[in-house]
């Protein structure tokens, strides 16, 4: 797969830009979060992993200050030209907002580009799937800038710069998880990350005769136009109410017992449910990693299922499409656990499925989804991969 993608992007670069002299080739993965959803901006834990699918990029320096972008995923937009002197937060309405945001964010940290660049991308992450194609583009762009211009930044810096660019340039109030999972990915391991202080551990994923299957709802959603910022605001208000009665900096500091003790301080029933999800989901994530380390895949699956129920009932970010994918998955023998993953309101579910049940899972869930929703879902059997790399200098 990788060799095919490399050849495709180099061939397209030659077609769009005339030649491939001086180019370098890059890859940044997508990510899936196994458990710990909507906890990353609430000071809780997350448990994502990088995937072997992601974004391929070809880049080279220019002699002028032009920025020339082309995406094979948006062929219809053609070549998009800009300039280092035209980077305006909130001003871009197409995919180039992501690489431009990273270039702008590097400059905000004192790392200004001395010249422009040509950049061509091709991702095999489904657009709008919730597998973080945008964060993959951000981390890839950071990797390009570090490599081409010799900037001294770590992979963790790439994650923080990507998040900063999304927050301040694209005006999407995202947490750190997506960029961190992609920048810090490690083959066959997930990242147990405490978003409160960015301390993390790698946890080997041994699925003992099972596979990770991503089910894509094909309902497109964008973070900025979803209710994502509304949920953040509800949690921030709930936290402020709780802080009047208990000394905490984030919802992630509360145990389930402490939440039940103090929840009366949250004066609105809806906000109370939002905060409950953040607290309980954080504890589920801690328990799930412990179960995985103990080799108890069944318990890990049970906690995945409980996570979806909480996201559906307390956080209300699932919707008919994701609920159909997950609830149909639960009916299939051999499914260890299944839940929505990502911001919600469309995107994907993630399931752990026994090897012998994968084909049956795809057939049964696919048929039920088509019947109930009226269009097809797509399915991807994925592997856990490494973080960003320079493929060819």
| pLDDT tens track for 14-68 | 999 999 999 999 999 999 999 999 999 999 999 999 999 999 999 999 999 999 9
Q: Give the pLDDT confidence of 222-267 residue by residue, as tens digits.
A: 554 568 889 999 999 999 999 999 999 999 999 999 999 999 999 9
**Which of 310, 290, 313 lies closest to 300, judged by CA?**
290
SS (H, E, C) 30-71: EEEECCCCCCCCCCCEECEEEEEEEEEEEEEECCCCEEEEEE
- Determine which one of 178, 188, 296, 313 is catalytic: 178
Question: Catalytic site residue 178?
Answer: yes
Per-residue pLDDT at 208: 80
Q: How far apart are CA 131 and CA 125, in angstroms?
A: 7
**Secondary structure tally for the chain: helices H, strands E:** 11, 13
Of 347 and 375, the structure prediction assigns the larger pLDDT to 375
Spell out the domain ranges in the chain. Answer: 2-205+385-392
This prediction's pTM = 0.90
Domain 2-205+385-392 -> CATH class: alpha beta
Q: Where are the alpha helices (DSSP H) in 169-268?
A: 177-183, 228-242, 256-262
Question: At 3, is the pLDDT very low, low, confident or very high (cuts 50, 70, 90)?
Answer: confident
């Amino acid at each position: 797969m990788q060799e095919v993608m490399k050849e495709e992007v180099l061939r397209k670069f030659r077609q769009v830009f005339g030649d491939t002299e001086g180019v370098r080739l890059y890859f940044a993965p997508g990510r899936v979060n196994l458990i710990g959803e909507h906890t990353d901006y609430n000071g809780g834990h997350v448990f994502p992993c990088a995937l072997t699918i992601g974004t391929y990029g070809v880049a080279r320096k220019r002699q002028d200050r032009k920025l020339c972008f082309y995406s094979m995923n948006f062929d219809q937009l053609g070549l998009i030209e800009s300039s280092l002197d035209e980077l305006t937060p909130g001003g871009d309405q197409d995919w180039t907002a992501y690489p431009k945001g990273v270039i702008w964010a590097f400059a905000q940290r004192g790392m200004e580009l001395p010249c422009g660049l040509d950049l061509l991308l091709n991702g095999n992450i489904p657009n709008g799937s919730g597998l973080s194609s945008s964060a993959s583009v951000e981390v890839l762009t950071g990797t390009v800038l570090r490599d081409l211009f010799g900037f001294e930044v770590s992979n963790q810096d790439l994650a923080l710069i990507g998040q900063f660019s999304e927050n301040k340039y694209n005006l999407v109030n995202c947490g750190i998880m997506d960029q961190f999972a992609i920048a810090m990915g490690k083959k066959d391991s997930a990242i147990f990350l405490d978003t409160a202080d960015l301390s993390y551990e790698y946890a080997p994923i041994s699925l003992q005769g099972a596979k990770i299957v991503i089910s894509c709802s094909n309902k497109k959603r964008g973070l900025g136009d979803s209710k994502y910022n509304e949920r953040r605001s509800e949690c921030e208000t709930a936290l402020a109410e709780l802080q009047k009665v208990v000394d905490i900096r984030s919802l992630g500091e509360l145990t389930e017992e402490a939440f039940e003790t103090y929840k009366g301080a949250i004066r609105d029933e809806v906000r109370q449910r939002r905060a409950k999800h953040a607290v309980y989901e954080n504890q589920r994530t801690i328990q799930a990693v412990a179960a995985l380390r103990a080799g108890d895949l069944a318990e890990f699956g049970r906690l995945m299922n409980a996570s979806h129920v909480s996201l559906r009932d307390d956080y209300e970010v699932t919707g008919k499409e994701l609920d159909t994918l997950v609830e149909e998955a639960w009916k299939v023998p051999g499914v260890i656990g299944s839940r929505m993953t990502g911001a919600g309101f469309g995107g994907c579910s993630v399931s752990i499925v026994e090897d012998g049940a994968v084909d049956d899972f795809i057939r049964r869930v696919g048929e039920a989804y088509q019947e109930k929703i009226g269009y097809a879902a797509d399915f991807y059997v994925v592997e856990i991969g490494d973080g960003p790399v320079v493929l060819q200098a």
